[in-house]
Structure 1
Amino acid sequence: MDEVVVLYVDDDEDFTELTAAFLERECDRFRVETATSVAEGLNRAGDSTFDCVVSDYDMPERDGLDFLEALREDAPDLPFILFTGEGSEEVASDAISAGVTDYLQKEQGTSQYTVLANRIENAVERHRSQRALEASEQRLSLFIEQSPLGVLEYDSDFQIIGLNERGEEILGYTEEELRGHSWEVIVADDSYDNVDAVTDQLAVAEGGYHSIDENVRKDGEHIRCEWHNRVITDDDGEVVGIISLFQDVTERVRRENELERTNALLSTLIRSLPVGVLAENSDRTVLAINDRLLELFGISEPSTELIGADCRELARKTSELVVDSEGFVERVDELIAGTESVHNESVALTNGRTLNRSYEPIELPDGTGHLWMYRDTTEQREREQQLQRQNERLSEFASVVSHDLRNPLNVAAGNVELAREAHESDQLATAARALARIDDLIDDLLTLARKGDNVGEREPVSLGTLVTDCWETIETGDAELQTDLTATVVADRSRLQQLIENLVRNSIEHGGDGVVVTAGELPDGFYVEDDGVGIAADRRDSVFQAGQTTSRTGTGFGLAIVKQVAEAHGWTVSVTESDGGGARFEITGVTFAAADR
Structure 2
Amino acid sequence: MTKREGGSHLLYVDPDPAYRRNVPSALEPEWVVTAAESVEAATAAMDGSFDCVVAADELPEMGGLEFLDSVESETDETPFVLFTAEEDIDLVRQAFRAGINDVIYKQRSSDVTADGEPDSSTDMIDSTDGIVGLRHCLDSLDIGSTDLNGITLDVSRSLMGAAADEVDMKTEWALQSLAEEIDANQCLIYEVDDGTRLELTHGWTDDEIGDSETHRQLFGVGSETVPADQFPGFGSQLQQFEPACVDITAAAEPEPTGGTATTPASNGDSGTTAVVSSEASPELPADGDRGTLLALPVVIEWQLSGTIVITVEQPREWSEEARQRLQAVGELVGHMERRRRQRQELERQNEQLEQFASVISHDLQNPLNVISGYLELAMETGNLDRLDPALDAAERMEEMLDDLLTLAREGRAVGETQEVELQPIVQEAWESVETYDGSLELVGLDDLDPVEADGSRLQEAFENLFKNAVVHAGKDVNLRVEADDGTVYIADDGQGIPEDKRDVVFEYGHTGGDGTGLGLAIVRSIIEGHDWEIEAAESEEGGARFDIDLGR
- TM-score normalized by structure 1? 0.35
Query: Which structure carries more relative contact order (alpha carbon 8 Å, separation 6+)?
Result: 2
TM-score for both structures, normalised by structure 2? 0.38
Larger Rg: 1
Instruction: Select the structure that is richer in helix.
Output: 1
